[in-house]
Structure formats: structure tokens, C-alpha cells
Amino acid sequence: MDEVEAFLERRVFKWKATKMCTVCKKEIVRGLVEPVEYSCPTLWRLYHGYVMLKRNCPNQTHVSVVKVSDLRSEERHQVWKMILQHKKQHKQSNQSDSSGG
Ligand SMILES: [Zn+2]
């Protein structure tokens, strides 16, 4: 599977309301799409079936899980940008790693 195919197979959270989650302290914005792994960690666990949550995330009633291939093109673009941004941040935090091996 190439990178584009993998991208299209991704699932994203799409928010149906604008709210602040009191449990995760996460702000959601209506209409915004986010890659599941960079979004609300509580919902991520729920989505992956680890449903042993002590406290439910109230945002779970305001979310729908959508495949990237089902998104509109500007939404796909949004998701793609978030992924790139996240990768960049990750790289920066690993930069102190010297040439060990
Ligand atoms: Zn939450």
C-alpha cells in the first residue's frame, strides 16, 4: 500500500458540535475533521475498542468517524496538513538525538 492509499484508508473524527470537553480539556469545532490518533485520546481509545473508560468523553455524542476517502477535497487537505504538522513537531522533539547507533 502506498502513502496515498494509506492516507485514504485513514479514519478521522468529524465533529458535529462546537464544545469544550470537560474530561479531556479538548476543544472541538463543528465541521472540523481530525485524524483519530491526534485527536481526543479518550475517544481514540473508545474507537479502538478499549472501552474500559472510567469517565466517558462527552464529545462522543458529537463525533462521527469518517473515512478520508469519503471526505470532501478541502477536508482531506485539512487532514493532510495536520498529519504533516504533527510529523514535523515529532521530528523537532527528536532532534537532540545525536549520532548514536
Ligand atoms: Zn473528551
How far is Cα 71 from Cα 28, in angstroms, rounded to an integer? Answer: 18
- What pLDDT is attached to residue 47? 79
- What pLDDT is attached to residue 29? 94
Rounded distance from Cα 41 to ligand 1 centre (Å): 7
Give kind and range of the element (H or E) at residue 19.
strand 19-20
Would you say residue 100 has pLDDT above 80?
no
pLDDT averaged over every residue in the chain? 85
Rounded distance from Cα 64 to ligand 1 centre (Å): 14
Give, in order, the Cα–Cα distances in Å from 3 to each of 6, 35, 53, 62, 70: 5, 15, 33, 30, 17
Rounded distance from Cα 68 to ligand 1 centre (Å): 22
- For the entire predicted model, the pTM comes to 0.78
How far is Cα 22 from Cα 82, in angstroms, rounded to an integer? Answer: 23
Mean pLDDT (whole number) for 74-94: 88
How many residues are given for the chain?
A: 101
Rounded distance from Cα 55 to ligand 1 centre (Å): 9
Q: What percent of the chain has pLDDT over 90?
A: 46
Mean pLDDT (whole number) for 17-36: 91
Q: pLDDT tens for residues 37-83?
A: 888 888 888 777 766 555 678 888 899 999 999 999 999 999 999 99
